């Protein structure tokens, strides 16, 4: 089910073109990571999707009534305690105060915060503030969870908890969109990975990834997938070499016939 559509999204900061006419559709339950160097536009794209930044041109179209939860890369230090802040955020999402209190306490334990919930946030370290930012986004179940470098400053045990909690939401059809540098986090959470080059959104393929072209004949009257390109009665599908063993059995069992397959590096 489509829930977000980017239409011709362009963003400029002065003379610098950051995003260039991006068209993309995201679906309910999809898990997506944006990777790439600092300044390539990952955070800007997340903020446009969240409605926090206005594009220079184009628009982000959302399904009605979506609840967004956002974990920013830098979480602001404020005079209130972490507990006071989390209670307020939970109540803004419709939780009762006692319910929000129990949830904050439980998540605080999960992320090894100990007694730090009652410390003013301006006195907390960057890593601890980032944990508070994660917890506020997990207080209730959103429709879309946006994570901007979510493990910045966090220890390995807390990263494992974040992966577990995020994948629990993904299993409940929450859409996950994140900007991340850490390959192990991307591999653990995201099914689809993109990078931004020259302002354009491109599928990301790590160095050494082999892409195969599969030629199929539709002998069973099946509807082609959106990834297939039609050539008369034949269809061409591109997939990573390691994905072919997973994809092909299902296609063949549905009536597709394999008519050719080659590695693009050898063509």
% residues pLDDT > 70 (the chain): 96
Whether the per-residue pLDDT at 266 is higher than 80: the answer is no
Q: Which of 7-21, 172-186, 233-247 has the lowest mean pLDDT?
A: 233-247
Q: How confident is the model at residue 242 (pLDDT cuts 50, 70, 90)?
A: low
Domain ranges of the chain: 2-203, 211-266
Rounded to an integer, the average pLDDT of 75-103 is 93
The CATH label, of 3.90.1300.10, 1.10.10.60, 3.40.50.300, 3.20.20.100, for the domain at 2-203 is 3.40.50.300
Rounded to an integer, the average pLDDT of 204-233 is 76
pTM equals 0.75
* Winning range, highest mean pLDDT, from 101-105, 110-114, 195-199: 101-105
Q: How confident is the model at residue 132 (pLDDT cuts 50, 70, 90)?
A: very high
Q: If you average pLDDT over every residue of the chain, what do you get? A: 89
Rounded to an integer, the average pLDDT of 234-248 is 78
Quote the pLDDT of residue 37.
84
Q: In the chain, what is the straight-line distance between the N-terminal and C-terminal CA atoms, in Å?
A: 36
Quote the pLDDT of residue 267.
44
Rounded to an integer, the average pLDDT of 109-116 is 92
Whether the per-residue pLDDT at 211 is higher than 80: the answer is no
Long-range contacts of range 38-43, CB-CB < 8 Å, 24 or more positions apart? 40/195, 40/196, 40/197, 41/11, 41/196, 41/199, 42/148, 42/179, 42/196, 43/73, 43/148, 43/149, 43/179
DSSP string, 76-125: PP-SSBHHHHHHHHHHHTT--HHHHHHHHHHHHHHTT-GGGGGSBGGGS-
Whether the per-residue pLDDT at 264 is higher than 60: the answer is no
Quote the pLDDT of residue 207.
56
């Amino acid at each position: 089910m489509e829930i977000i559509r980017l239409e011709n999204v362009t963003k400029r900061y002065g003379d610098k073109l950051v995003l260039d006419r991006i068209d993309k559709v995201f679906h309910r339950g999809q898990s997506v990571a944006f990777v790439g160097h600092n300044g390539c536009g990952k955070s800007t794209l997340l903020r446009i999707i969240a409605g926090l930044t206005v594009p220079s041109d184009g628009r982000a179209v959302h399904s009605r009534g979506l609840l967004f939860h956002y974990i920013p890369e830098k979480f602001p230090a404020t005079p209130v305690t972490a507990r006071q802040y989390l209670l307020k955020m939970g109540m803004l999402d419709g939780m009762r105060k006692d319910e929000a209190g129990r949830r904050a306490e439980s998540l605080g334990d999960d992320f090894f915060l100990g007694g730090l919930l009652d410390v003013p946030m301006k006195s907390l370290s960057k890593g601890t503030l980032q944990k508070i930012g994660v917890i506020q986004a997990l207080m209730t179940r959103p429709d879309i969870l946006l994570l901007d470098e979510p493990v910045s400053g966090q220890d390995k045990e807390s990263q494992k908890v974040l992966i577990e909690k995020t994948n629990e939401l993904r299993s409940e059809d929450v859409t996950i969109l994140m900007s991340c540098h850490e390959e192990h986090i991307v591999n653990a959470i995201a099914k689809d990975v993109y990078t931004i080059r020259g302002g354009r959104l491109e599928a990301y393929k790590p160095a050494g990834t082999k892409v195969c072209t599969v030629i199929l004949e539709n002998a069973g009257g099946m509807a082609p997938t959106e990834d297939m390109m039609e050539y008369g009665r034949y269809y061409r599908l591109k997939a990573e070499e390691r994905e072919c063993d997973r994809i092909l059995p299902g296609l063949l069992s549905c009536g597709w016939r394999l008519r050719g397959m080659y590695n693009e590096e050898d063509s």
